[in-house]
Amino acid sequence: MNIIKNLQLFLLGTLLLSSTLFADSEISILYSSANPDYKPFESTFGYALSGQFNFENGLFVSGYFNETDFKASGPFVGNVDVTSWSEVGIGYSFAHKWGQFYSLITFEKIDTEFKTFDGYGAHFGYRNDFAKDWTGVIQLGYIDTDFTDWQLIGKLFYSVSDTLSLTFGIRDYDNWDYTNYEAGVVFRF
């Protein structure tokens, strides 16, 4: 609980010190598929919501929620039914001639049928507008809850307009042994 209070205080301080509240922000509505690596477990489908709110000074806050039920593989084979997972984070990004680099600290919460796993995550990423209307993102993260896990995220965005993009993403988890596929729309404001 102290992590949440500290994060709230930090976010409040960031809001007060930022010269402009939001520089460029986005909200995504996604269709999600969880695909366990253990073949007897079926892929399941659901939805996910994510958002990122950027400040002029390079700081940003992000959130993610996914409600796709699945049976976890890996060391938890058959013992854990995940019902939803979410994360709230704060990060810092900076532009470079090769693209945009960022780091992100998150609070993680994974709800299962019988227990909630919570903890933190540390992530590093890279974003690049590699062609007209196309943007790619790659992110590597370490999650430390009641279990530890490595997370690899890849996203591809196609800009339909200045305020609307289509996206496809993959989230791969090492210890939980599953891959999550997402496709949807991104609204920028």
Quote the CA–CA distance of 89 and 108 in Å, as a whole number: 9
Quote the CA–CA distance of 115 and 122 in Å, as a whole number: 23
CATH number corresponding to 2-188? 2.40.160
Tens of pLDDT, residue by residue, the chain (189 residues): 555 555 555 655 555 554 455 557 999 999 999 887 766 778 889 999 999 999 988 999 999 999 988 877 666 555 678 889 999 999 999 998 899 999 999 999 989 888 898 999 999 999 999 999 999 999 999 999 877 789 999 999 999 999 999 999 999 987 767 789 999 999 998
The whole model's pTM is what? Answer: 0.83
Could you tell me which of 178, 175, 138, 171 has the C-alpha nearest to residue 64?
A: 171
Please, how many CA atoms are within 13 Å of residue 96, restricted to the half-sphere of its CB? 11
Q: Taking the CB of residue 175, how many other CB atoms lie within 10 A of it?
A: 16
Quote the CA–CA distance of 60 and 26 in Å, as a whole number: 11
Quote the CA–CA distance of 29 and 51 in Å, as a whole number: 9
pLDDT of 19:
46
C-alpha dihedral sign at 35, 187, 153, 68: negative
